[in-house]
Amino acid sequence: MRPGIALISPLVCLLTGIWIAFAVVSAEAATTERIVVNRFSGVAIEGFDPVAYFVDGGAEPGTAEFEANLRGAVWRFRNEGNRASFLAHPEIYGPQFGGYDPADIARGVANAGNPRFFVIAAQRLYLFSREANRDAFAANPERFLYEVGKRWPAMQDKLSQ
């Protein structure tokens, strides 16, 4: 074996590994969407009925019987009335920021909200990735919304269309 070859091989492997890791992270970031959906089914907010948060006061699952396709996502509802209300006013009933966690957006990160952690503030639905974010937002929504307002436009431009 020639001198130096053994040293080059581990270095090449290390650099190749770093490049592959970077490519994987970049690919994951590139697959984010403007509306949080299941990547396999296209269903938004894990199939929960967005209107039920307002009507029933909580997270209620929708059904495949009452679906609507809007803005590249499949939305599910508990009944035809909820479906019709959503289609008439998706800006009111749909989760704000496409279902991304506003507490994380305020920090400059786009994490999907969990439909089970929610707040309705100023007659709008917000979903959170964890309980701590929900609780912090609920204590002072104006502060978070101010920060989100500064960051969301640039973040939204980075998300796929």
What is the pLDDT at residue 28? 30
Q: Virtual CA dihedral for 156, 41, 95, 137, nearest 10 degrees?
A: -80
Question: Quick check: is 108 in a domain?
Answer: yes
**Domain span holding position 100:** 45-158
Query: Long-range contacts made by residues 106-115, C-beta under 8 angstroms, separation at least 24?
Result: 106/144, 106/147, 106/148, 106/151, 108/151, 108/155, 110/32, 110/155, 110/158, 110/159, 112/36, 113/36, 113/45, 114/46, 115/45, 115/46, 115/48, 115/59
Kindly give the residue spans of alpha helices, DSSP state H, lying in the chain. 5-30, 52-55, 80-88, 90-93, 102-106, 131-139, 141-158
Question: Quick check: is 1 in a domain?
Answer: no
Question: Quick check: is 11 in a domain?
Answer: no
Q: Virtual CA dihedral for 79, 36, 152, 32, nearest 10 degrees?
A: -160
Mean pLDDT of 95-112: 95
Domain count, the chain: 1
Distance CA(9)–CA(22), nearest Å, equals 20
Q: CA 17: distance to chain centroid?
A: 29
What is the pLDDT at residue 160? 65
Question: Quick check: is 2 in a domain?
Answer: no
What is the pLDDT at residue 80? 98
In this predicted structure, which of 20-34, 42-56, 76-90, 145-159 has the lowest mean pLDDT? 20-34
Distance CA(160)–CA(122), nearest Å, equals 28
Question: Quick check: is 33 in a domain?
Answer: no
63-70 and 73-77 as β-strands: parallel, antiparallel, unpaired? antiparallel
| pLDDT tens sequence across 29-49 | 223 468 899 989 999 999 999
